[in-house]
């Protein structure tokens, strides 16, 4: 699945695509291909794509170049030409990663295109400390936000960021300021003193500042204060297993939710604990417990039925992928209908997709299946729904062939 499409397959798609789904398969493959080594001949081909007037060629070229090799002028031109194609703009954002642009250009781009692009714009702008201070104090929304982001790579007085935390500004800017402060290794005593000051309107953002032991106190005290937003700051903080064990048994919502958040990204939290949180009557806790399962190959909770030796999946171009499902895989669904699993092994691919023996998933036009691939769905949904993440399959070949994409 990680192999992606060959470059010659992508070139064939760009020249001969017969429907938009096929075109997106070629464009999507370019981003994954950008990380692979390239010959001079391949780079010349990619450069021709990125300079082509046809939007799909430009988009593919910017993605295929990638952040490491894309010329700055091509990335900048793609950022400017948003009106030609949204996808070309997204490809330009990808190609622009790690490149430094003038602050006026970035600010103008943000004002023109709206707040939805702010998270994709570069931190390392060419901007002076004087300009940062001016924007923090008098700038409009996008200017303040970008100025805060610029503080990540600049040595600025911490009081400038503290001033943002104490003002009534948008939540995105507040959270960005809190994260920058935390990255500056400010002392625990200073953070707690700032956090307790009056006028700090977004205490949920400011909680990002406090340490692990103080979080435990806040979670315990917050049960009686209705601070249900507090547990979200537990994600990424390495609490002792003993703390998570206590929280998951609590009668109150806040500690149980904290246990779910604290389990995300942890490989050492026992599967039985996560299973208990998955079955929690509070749907938000069960959703976060589901995230705690993501990426873990060792968890095996339920198989709704035992599949046949071979199962089948229909892909773009009416190509059928044949697979086997290992004994430790999760399975949701029923025989005779489309089911899904988190693990499979590809044993055959019928036909060719633009000259390559590969299956391309219809759902995202990105996931590829080659013979021999060991499929693992890292964000598998452990719930019972069918229109959700997983390797979707049928138990018979006829069912797969009759399925309409």
pTM of the model: 0.84
Is residue 90 in a domain?
A: yes
Strand-pairing partners, residue 312, are: 322, 394
Residue 203 located in a structural domain: yes
Q: Which of 265, 293, 321 lies at the terminal end of a domain, its last residue? A: 293
Q: Which residues 6+ apart lie within 8 Å of 185 measured at CB?
A: none
Residue 301 covered by a domain:
no
Cα(81)–Cα(59) distance, integer angstroms: 11
Last residue of a domain, one of 50, 76, 95: 95
Q: List the single range of 119-128, 215-224, 294-303, 359-368 with lowest mean pLDDT.
A: 215-224
| Residues 364, 383, 362: CA angle, nearest 5 degrees | 15
Question: What span, in angstroms and rounded, lies between the C-alpha atoms of 326 and 297?
Answer: 12
- Asked whether 241 and 268 are in contact (CB, 8 A), the reply is yes
The model's pLDDT over 244-264, given as tens digits with 9 standing for 90+, comes to 999 999 998 889 999 999 999
The last residue of one of the domains, among 208, 239, 255, is: 208
Which residue matches tokens 């007085």? Answer: 157
Question: Looking at residue 284, what is its pLDDT?
Answer: 92
32 vs 23: CA distance, rounded Å: 15
State the average pLDDT over residues 181-191: 71
pLDDT of residue 1: 45
Count of all residues that appear for the chain in the document: 405
What confidence category does residue 188 fall into, taking pLDDT thresholds of 50, 70 and 90? low
The pLDDT assigned to 110 comes to 81
How many structural domains compose the chain? 4
Q: Is the pLDDT of residue 224 over 60?
A: no
Q: Is the pLDDT of residue 112 over 80?
A: no
Pair of tokens at residue 115: 């707040």
Structural domain of residue 15, as residue ranges? 7-95
From CA 170, how far away is CA 79, in angstroms rounded? 25
**Of 213 and 63, more confident:** 63
CA distance 303 to 332: 6
Report how far residue 96's alpha carbon sits from residue 70's, in angstroms, rounded to the nearest whole number.
8
pLDDT value, residue 209: 56
Q: Maximum Cα–Cα distance for the chain, whole Å?
A: 69
Q: With beta carbons less than 8 A apart as the criterion, state whether 382 and 293 touch.
A: yes
Q: What is the C-alpha to C-alpha distance for residues 331 and 342, in angstroms, rounded to an integer?
A: 7
Residues 114 and 184 reside in one and the same domain: yes
Residue 337 has pLDDT above 70, yes or no: yes
State the pLDDT at residue 207: 56
Mean pLDDT of 281-302: 95
Question: How confident is the model at residue 201, as a pLDDT?
Answer: 42
Q: Among 277, 218, 221, which Cα is nearest to 244's?
A: 277
348 lies in some domain: yes
- Whether the pLDDT of residue 10 is over 80: the answer is yes
The pLDDT confidence band at residue 115, using thresholds 50, 70 and 90, is low
What DSSP element (H or E) covers 343? strand 343-349
Asked if 53 and 33 sit in the same domain, the reply is: yes
pLDDT digits (tens, 9 = 90+) for 124-177: 788 999 999 999 888 888 888 888 888 887 888 888 887 776 676 677 787 778
Q: What residues contact 106, with CB distance under 8 A and at least 6 apart?
A: 121, 122, 125, 146
């Amino acid at each position: 699945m990680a192999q992606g499409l060959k470059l010659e397959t992508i070139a064939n798609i760009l020249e001969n695509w017969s429907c938009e789904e096929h075109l997106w398969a070629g464009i999507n493959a370019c981003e994954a291909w950008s990380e692979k080594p390239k010959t001079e001949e391949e780079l010349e081909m990619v450069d021709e794509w990125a300079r082509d007037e046809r939007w799909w060629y430009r988009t593919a070229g910017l993605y295929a170049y990638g952040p490491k090799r894309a010329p700055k002028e091509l990335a900048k031109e793609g950022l400017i030409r948003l009106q030609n194609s949204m996808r070309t703009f997204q490809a330009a954002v990808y190609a622009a990663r790690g490149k430094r642009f003038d602050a006026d250009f970035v600010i103008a781009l943000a004002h023109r295109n709206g707040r939805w692009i702010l998270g994709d714009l570069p931190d390392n702008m060419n901007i002076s400390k004087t300009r940062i201070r001016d924007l923090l104090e008098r700038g409009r929304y996008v200017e303040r936000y970008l100025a805060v982001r610029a503080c990540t790579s600049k040595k600025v007085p911490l009081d400038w960021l503290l001033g943002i935390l104490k003002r009534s500004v948008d939540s995105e800017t507040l959270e960005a300021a809190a994260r920058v402060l935390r990255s500056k290794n400010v002392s625990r005593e200073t953070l707690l003193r700032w956090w307790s000051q009056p006028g700090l309107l977004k205490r949920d953002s400011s909680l990002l500042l406090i340490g692990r032991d103080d979080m435990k106190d806040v979670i315990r005290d917050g049960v009686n204060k209705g601070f249900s937003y507090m547990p979200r700051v537990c994600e990424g903080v390495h609490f002792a297993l003993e703390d998570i064990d206590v929280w998951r048994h609590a009668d109150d919502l806040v500690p149980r939710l904290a246990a779910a958040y604290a389990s995300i990204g942890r490989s050492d939290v026992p599967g039985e604990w996560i299973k208990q949180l998955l079955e929690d009557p509070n749907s938000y806790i069960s959703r976060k417990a589901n995230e705690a399962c993501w990426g873990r190959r060792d968890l095996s909770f339920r198989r709704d039925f035992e599949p046949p030796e071979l199962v089948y999946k229909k892909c773009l171009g009416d190509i059928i992928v044949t697979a086997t499902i290992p004994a430790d895989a999760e399975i949701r669904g029923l025989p005779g209908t489309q089911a899904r699993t988190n693990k499979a092994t590809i044993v055959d691919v019928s036909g060719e997709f633009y000259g390559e023996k590969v299956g391309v998933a219809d759902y995202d036009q990105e996931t590829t299946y080659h013979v021999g691939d060991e499929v693992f769905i890292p964000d598998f949904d452990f719930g019972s729904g069918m229109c959700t993440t997983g390797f979707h399959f049928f138990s018979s070949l006829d069912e797969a062939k009759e399925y309409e994409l």
